[in-house]
């Protein structure tokens, strides 16, 4: 069970790294285009260049947030399944103890306590 979660987490992190690389490459291309435009005599304002960087940062943040959310979801799911398993084991232990006590009436506590 843990292996499945670890695999999903690793896949999510890999997806994040790939997305981050794609965004970096896209931003690099955009900056290169701005330089080419300026060399070609086209006026590119500082505001427009800043907007390009801001758009890339926003996209990167969104990708990061998505991956973090996936990881949190996986962790919560794993924790819930673990808690359910612990509760189930505890219930089985209590049932086994009750069964043993019912078979040995001399071991049970009297009504006024042990």
Distance CA 52, CA 27 (A): 7
Distance CA 26, CA 63 (A): 14
Top-confidence residue, 44 or 29: 29
Distance CA 71, CA 13 (A): 8
DSSP 105: G
Please state the φ and ψ torsions of residue 76, each to the nearest 5 degrees.
Answer: -60, -40
pLDDT digits (tens, 9 = 90+) for 54-111: 877 777 677 667 777 777 777 888 888 889 999 999 999 999 888 887 877 665 566 6
């Amino acid at each position: 069970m843990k292996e499945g979660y670890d695999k999903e987490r690793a896949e999510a992190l890999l997806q994040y790294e790939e997305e981050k690389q794609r965004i970096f490459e896209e931003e690099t291309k955009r900056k290169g285009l701005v330089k080419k435009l300026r060399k070609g005599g086209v006026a590119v304002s500082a505001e427009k260049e800043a907007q390009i960087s801001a758009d890339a940062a926003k996209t990167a943040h969104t990708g990061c947030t998505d991956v973090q959310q996936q990881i949190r979801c996986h962790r919560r799911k794993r924790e819930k399944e673990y808690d359910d398993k612990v509760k189930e084991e505890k219930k089985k232990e209590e049932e086994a103890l009750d069964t043993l006590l019912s078979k040995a009436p001399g071991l049970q506590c009297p009504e006024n306590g042990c």
